[in-house]
Amino acid sequence: MTFANRIAHLKPEGAYAVLARAQALESQGRDIIHLEIGQPDFETYPHITLAGIRAIAEGKTRYNPPAGVSEFRQVLADDAGARRGVKIHPEQVVVAPGTKPLLLFPLMALISPGDEVIYPDPGFPTYEAAIRLVGATAVPVGLSEERDYDLDLASFDAALSARTRMIILNSPSNPTGSVLSLETLTHVAEAARRLDCWVLSDEIYFRLVYDGESLSIVSLPGMLERTILADGFSKTYAMTGWRLGFGVMPEPVAEKLALLITHSTGCTATFTQYAGIEAVVAPQDDVDRVREEFRQRRALIVQGLNAIPGVRCPMPPGAFYVFPNVEAFGRPARELSDYLLDEAGVAVLPGTDFGASGEGHLRLSYANSQENIRIALERMAHALAKLG
């Protein structure tokens, strides 16, 4: 079979590959603790689910405009704007089935073959996949472990060129849990203005910050005009399977994205958007409660990992991931993650699933119960001790 060149580089997300291996072991009777999956281990909050069911019963089951239900776009404009201290108009908001389309469609709309797009490495694998899908050159920029996995500004400056058309940011970050500092955002914003290029800011973990406040590049002067902000409901409201995301962008870009949606997904499920309205306008107690639970798990997992000889784990300020350094074991990260799955029954991801710079690291998700995290840490300590 012959496939088009444009998809030759695509590969599955590492988390799905490890999940499949873990499930194969489970089917043989092994007890596996899952720390590989990046989704909240909570059910969607009941009032949101009920709003979705109510919307179906009320017949909100038909097509709606490609950019989204107007009431929802208004609610999102107000909420996203208030949280970032900027005025957003509903015409700047585009709703999509998940945040992922808001990573691909802006590239399709704004980037041409031969353009260069900068993205974080280690970073969410969809960035590189999407850049290459549109025929652009993917230019990775490393994160600096010494600066708590903030962007390495020297590498960033070296990566810029006259062909740079877009800079992708992700804060808080998957896989490191790091948050970009104001210094970094200011530096990137200056570069974007100087080179007259776009910023695609993936802020899906914006509400999951434990120390200090989330910062968005759109809050900096002049940046709302050149930024596509991507956000969604998967992580904040435990709605991964509902497929609900939104983007904020200049109106002319929003119009082009609406066309891309028209000719691809058509629109986002109507009742899902009504569940989304409920999620945003109702009291945010569940979001706050879950954030506090994640905060406790973060302390537990960071402390437990640092107690294992050979493991060094900084305290990440956001998301629900830790990215410990395991270079001391002198083995490739993939070999180590395979070993932990086979030997300890703990599923984790090698840092290299997020780019070459992830070597020497593992990514663990703490979207699992404190009890399971404790057991996983014990098993890991035991298995890693055998490696000496």
Ligand X SMILES: Cc1ncc(COP(=O)(O)O)c(C=O)c1O
Query: Binders of ligand X: how many residues, by CB under 6 A?
Result: 13
Of the candidates 40, 43, 42, 51, the one whose C-alpha atom is nearest the C-alpha of residue 282 is 51
**170 binds ligand X, rule: CB under 6 A:** yes
**234 binds ligand X, rule: CB under 6 A:** yes
Q: Which stretch binds ligand X (CB under 6 A): 28-36, 94-102, 158-166, 293-301?
A: 94-102
Least CB distance from residue 307 to ligand X, whole Å? 28
Q: Which stretch binds ligand X (CB under 6 A): 74-82, 96-104, 255-263, 266-274?
A: 96-104
Binding mask 309-348 for ligand X (x = CB under 6 A): ----------------------------------------
Measuring CA to CA, how many Å separate 59 from each of 54, 78, 380?
Answer: 9, 26, 50
Q: Which stretch binds ligand X (CB under 6 A): 47-55, 97-105, 110-118, 333-341?
A: 97-105
Rounded to whole angstroms, the Cα distance separating 131 from 121 reads 13
**98 binds ligand X, rule: CB under 6 A:** yes
**240 binds ligand X, rule: CB under 6 A:** yes
Q: Which of 245, 276, 304, 351 binds ligand X (CB under 6 A)?
A: 245
Rounded to whole angstroms, the Cα distance separating 215 from 375 reads 35
Q: Which stretch binds ligand X (CB under 6 A): 85-93, 98-106, 268-276, 379-387?
A: 98-106
**68 binds ligand X, rule: CB under 6 A:** no
**174 binds ligand X, rule: CB under 6 A:** yes
CB-hemisphere CA count at 13 Å for 177? 27
Ranges of H-type helices in the chain: 14-27, 46-57, 70-84, 101-110, 125-133, 153-159, 182-195, 251-262, 270-281, 285-306, 333-339, 370-385
Q: Which residue matches tokens 């998967």?
A: 234
CA dihedral 237, 26, 124, 233 (to 10 degrees): -10
**216 binds ligand X, rule: CB under 6 A:** no
**122 binds ligand X, rule: CB under 6 A:** no
DSSP string, 75-100: HHHHHHHHHHTS---GGGEEEESSST
**Do residues 101 and 107 make contact, with C-beta atoms less than 8 angstroms apart?**
no
Q: Which of 38, 142, 276, 304 binds ligand X (CB under 6 A)?
A: 38
Site of interaction with ligand X (CB under 6 A): 38, 98-100, 124, 170, 174, 202, 204, 232, 234, 240, 245
